[in-house]
Amino acid sequence: MIIGAGVAGLGTALGLARSGRRVTVIDRDPAPPALDPETAFSSWDRSGVPQARQPHAFWARSRNLLLQRAPEVLERLRDIGVGEWNILNMAPPAMRVPEDQQFTSLLVRRLPFEVTLRNVVEEEPLVEIRPETLVDRIEFATDRDGAPPRATAVRLRGGEVLPADLVIDATGRRSRLVSSLAGHGVIVPTQMEDCNVVYYGRYYRQLDDSDLDPEELTRRGGGDLGYFQYGTFQGDNRTLAIFLNPPPWDTPFKALRHKHVFEAVARAIPAAAPWVDPQHTSPITDVQPMAGQQNVLRRFVVDGRPVALGVLPVGDSLCTTNPQNGWGASLALTYAFAAVDAVAQHDGDLEGIAMAYHDAVWPDAEAYFRASAAIDRIRTHRWRGEEIPAEDQEEAERQRLLQEGLNPAMRRDMHVLRAMMRRTNLIDPPDAIWSDEQAVRIGRETMEWRAAKQRPFAVGPPRDEMLGIIKEAGATIDETAPAS
């Protein structure tokens, strides 16, 4: 029984069904109205996934997993107009090696990706998807003294109880598994750190007669203005997204929810400006604000034993990281296929399944949680103008080296480029780059060279100037009217 038909739930369903298990996937949201990407994006009610229309990057780990486990998903994505991108393809052919293919990522909006994956899952004869069905709670039994509670069934809103041999909790970042287990006296150790960014995202479509090079958008990616961050993404079918991420405490930036303020600010950032120019693009969504992001890691094995049996947390319900990194979907697919493998290896042995799953995913989840939370802490100190505490000094140096050394160095050095691509695309764990002596040396040299030449890192106007732009653009806003 899989609760949640998002990326994690669908990936798990596909793998389990293909290894001969009968699977029911339950989701609170309606089924997609149609399979084509535009209808999915414009009309599918995905209230259960508030970020469904926010910009999504699908880094190479997602593509590599699908290539291994379900290559037809990639074929179907191509059929609906999804492109692929690999920065190494921009290097002269003589400098490329076959392994560079591992860096190819997918250029697709979240809902076209999801509808395509869902279509493949629905074709599996052993899978039933029940849309518009809300799970109220997982039922647990306690078999004997001292044994962890064992999931036995799923209770739906309305009272229907569906028995289950194994429950996959793929309900996303708002999973209630931890509080359900608390009701049975089980404490799930949980780490939580605020991301301290508010998302304002908007999708556009490039006009047919626009001659802008969309690769430029992906190559430049994003930046930090010292008081907020921005990013740019290519999607499928000539779509593209821009996101602006100020901190939650910087109240003037709340005006970004208004489209003309959003666009005035985007126009002031050289990397984003051409992409909000009506001669080249046309918006296909309103500005979508989203606050309250957190890094969360939940540990379901304590002192070498699972805290519960018959239930596996997969995707965001296990580990949530700052969306700015674009790691979530890749981690969701990783954990989905790890759950499938654990079930295959330990058929019917619930403790064996729980331990095998934990052993497979925990080092990865911990590494990504730690890295994401550390990036957010350092940025928060910087944006607030605070001194970096002693325990974060080393991490702050690393963040500086990434931004001011390795980032510029990767434009000139193939070794650094590959090291950075392994990090960005979740091929290597985020900290692996620090053991790459050559990359670190070149990054340091670049950072020192740039500092000596006083090369500025500014990628947009200073804060005061930006506040002026917001004020000017916002002068016409009626604050009592709904955001547009």
Stretch that binds ligand FAD, among 45-53, 349-357, 403-411, 460-468 (CB under 6 A): 45-53
256 binds ligand FAD (CB under 6 A): no
164 binds ligand FAD (CB under 6 A): no
**Which three-class secondary structure state does DSSP give residue 371?**
helix
CA dihedral 37, 38, 43, 49 (to 10 degrees): 50
Which residues lie closer than 8 Å to 356 by C-beta, 6 or more apart? 341, 342, 345, 346
Site string for ligand FAD, 50-79 (x = CB under 6 A): -x--xxxx----------------------
3 part of the interface to ligand FAD, by CB under 6 A:
yes
Taking the complex as a whole, how short is the minimal distance between the CB of residue 98 and ligand FAD, in angstroms?
Answer: 26
Give yes or no for residue 244 binding ligand FAD (CB under 6 A): no
Q: Counting contacts by CB under 6 A, is residue 235 touching ligand FAD?
A: no
Task: Based on the shown chain and the rule CB under 6 A, indicate whether residue 48 belongs to the binding site for ligand FAD.
Answer: yes
Q: Residue 95 interacts with ligand FAD (CB under 6 A)?
A: no
Residue whose CB is less far from ligand FAD, 416 or 421: 421
* Count of residues interacting with ligand FAD (CB under 6 A): 34
Distance of alpha carbon 237 from alpha carbon 220, whole angstroms: 20
- What lies within 8 Å, CB to CB, of 412 at 6+ separation is none
Determine, following the binding rule CB under 6 A, whether residue 333 of this chain makes contact with ligand FAD. no
Q: Does 316 bind ligand FAD (CB under 6 A)?
A: yes
Taking a C-beta distance cutoff of 8 angstroms, is the pair 209, 280 a contact? Answer: no
Contact present, 110 and 51 (Cβ < 8 Å): yes
- Contact status: 15 vs ligand FAD (CB under 6 A): no
Q: Strand 190-194's sheet: what is its strand order?
A: 190-194, 294-298, 319-320
Q: How far is the CB of 319 from ligand FAD (least distance, A)?
A: 9
CB of 471 to ligand FAD, least distance (A): 27
Q: How far is the CB of 167 from ligand FAD (least distance, A)?
A: 12
Residue 67 or residue 467: which is nearer to ligand FAD going by CB? Answer: 67
At 400, which helix (H) or strand (E)?
A: helix 393-401
Four-point Cα dihedral 91, 92, 95, 101, nearest 10: 50
d(C-alpha 335, C-alpha 315), whole Å: 6
Max Cα separation, the chain? Answer: 71
Residues at the contact surface with ligand FAD, assessed by CB under 6 A: 3-9, 26-29, 48-49, 51, 54-57, 134-135, 170-172, 199, 290, 315-316, 323, 326-330, 332
